[in-house]
Chain A
């Protein structure tokens, strides 16, 4: 039992290091770009909205309101897209007996999760230093929202990996669902002040819930009428369970 757990940790740690090397390349600047590329793209979008004179829907800082949604969305997108290819791009690894498909998923989760911890810390510290941010009023909510986003990304990404391996066309179908998320996740508006007809639709987007959770963590006076913690948590857990079952059941047919 202890041996099995130790083996699992060892394998996932080795795979994570390998993934790190594969995604970032050999040079140290690879790590730099992995962290700063999303930061630059978010900063660019934000600057654009400042220039056209947009007001923040909530609080003083448009940057903070924007970041609380966009960084969450980035984490989710990154996970769901990168895990989708975890099986197909790691085929050679399966010639080592102790490496099974779910390990490759876990390794990518570890790498992306850690990268985004750094990205978030750098970004929010930067905002704070420029006077555009603030210290989270309820840090524990921010952390839970982050972890739940990881769970959702892991669940959707794992399901993606299985479907993508069955049929490569899944990558195009998945995009159809992923694209509108930017508009459905409350990036520019306060979901609670939307008309009820609109809320009835957007509340089915699990990312919206983690965004709202994250904002309740950052702002001391943000109250969301839409947020239901049980929904993203339950959906994430259900997807993970379904994906792992499906992976195990279809393993025999796959080799």
Chain B
């Protein structure tokens, strides 16, 4: 279960006040794949970071009873001077996974070959994305937070990650941010629309997309 309870999030940067959420309550329906949509700067990524537990709300609380991934998509948690292997080992250690079996899965999925033994700073952005995606798939989560990442890598890798993700959501679910209507339709069962510091629920994806087109 993931739920926002009377959640307020206000950013105050350099005197500019920005209200992301204003006393919003929302329950991400159990086992459903949820689309999170809104215009640029509506705070979708911030909400995702709050779901993950990386960022704290200004007031209110986030309830979380399932094992939630870190927001996938940007390989921010990697250390550039450490090799791919070392980064993978580190992440599996903090999640309490068996390091070598995670490593094996990442090796198989990301197809980086011997580059895995090189420092991350030598990687291209596509290679980093492969590693990040492979790693988050190798660690089993109950809920994957996906921030615009189904479109990384070349064509072959894209279809491979699509298959892998489809396979994963048989027994896990996703909360997904995307501006691509096709991707949303592909993965999500229901959705939430962030607008004017409030959250609106949609049982029907087509209605969500209609309002998204109207307001964004």
CB-CB contacts of B59-93 with A at 8 A, as 1s and 0s? 00000000010110000111101100010001101
The 9 tightest CB contacts between A and B, nearest first, are: A14-B93, A97-B53, A95-B77, A14-B94, A95-B76, A252-B56, A97-B52, A255-B55, A11-B94
In the bound assembly, the distance between CA atoms of A4 and B174 in angstroms comes to 26
CB-CB contacts of B1-45 with A at 8 A, as 1s and 0s? 000000000001000000000000000000000000000000000
Residue ID in chain A nearest B11 by CB atoms? A255
Q: Which of A18, A97, A99 has the most CB atoms of chain B within a 10 A radius of its CB? A: A97
Contacts A17-B93, A251-B56, A255-B55; A97 near B76 (Cβ below 8 A): no
| Cβ-based interface call for B113 (8 A) | no
Chain A residues, Cβ within 8 Å of B86 = 18, 21
Q: Secondary structure at chain B's binding surface: helix, strand, loop or mixed?
A: loop
A95 in complex: contacting residue of B54, B56, B90, B93, CB < 8 Å: B54
| Cβ-based interface call for A173 (8 A) | no
| Cβ-based interface call for A117 (8 A) | no
A204 to nearest B CB, angstroms? 38
Beta-carbon contact of B54 and A14 below 8 Å: no
A249 to nearest B CB, angstroms? 11
Interface of chain A residues 1 through 46 with chain B (CB within 8 A): 6-7, 10-11, 13-15, 17-18, 21-22
In the bound assembly, the distance between CA atoms of A96 and B78 in angstroms comes to 10
Residue ID in chain B nearest A10 by CB atoms? B96
Beta-carbon contact of B77 and A92 below 8 Å: yes
Chain B residues, Cβ within 8 Å of A98 = 94-95
A146 to nearest B CB, angstroms? 28
Beta-carbon contact of A18 and B82 below 8 Å: yes
Beta-carbon contact of A18 and B90 below 8 Å: yes
B207 to nearest A CB, angstroms? 32
Binding site for A on B (CB under 8 A): 12, 52-56, 58, 68, 70-71, 76-79, 81-82, 86, 90-91, 93-96
CB-CB contacts of A55-92 with B at 8 A, as 1s and 0s? 00000000000000000000000000000000000001
Chain B residues, Cβ within 8 Å of A21 = 82, 86
In the bound assembly, the distance between CA atoms of A97 and B64 in angstroms comes to 12
Beta-carbon contact of B93 and A96 below 8 Å: no
Chain B residues, Cβ within 8 Å of A99 = 94
A252 to nearest B CB, angstroms? 5
Beta-carbon contact of B71 and A95 below 8 Å: yes
Residue ID in chain A nearest B93 by CB atoms? A14
Beta-carbon contact of A97 and B54 below 8 Å: yes
Chain B residues, Cβ within 8 Å of A238 = none
| Cβ-based interface call for A143 (8 A) | no
In the bound assembly, the distance between CA atoms of A18 and B95 in angstroms comes to 15
**20 pairs across A/B with beta carbons < 8 Å?**
A7-B96, A10-B96, A11-B94, A14-B94, A15-B94, A17-B93, A18-B90, A21-B82, A93-B77, A95-B54, A96-B70, A96-B91, A96-B94, A97-B53, A97-B54, A97-B68, A97-B70, A98-B95, A252-B58, A255-B54
| Cβ-based interface call for A242 (8 A) | no
In the bound assembly, the distance between CA atoms of A18 and B82 in angstroms comes to 9
| Cβ-based interface call for A246 (8 A) | no
In the bound assembly, the distance between CA atoms of A133 and B54 in angstroms comes to 51
In the bound assembly, the distance between CA atoms of A2 and B50 in angstroms comes to 25
Chain A residues, Cβ within 8 Å of B76 = 92, 95
Chain B residues, Cβ within 8 Å of A178 = none
| Cβ-based interface call for A147 (8 A) | no
In the bound assembly, the distance between CA atoms of A251 and B53 in angstroms comes to 13
Beta-carbon contact of A95 and B70 below 8 Å: yes
Residue ID in chain B nearest A18 by CB atoms? B90
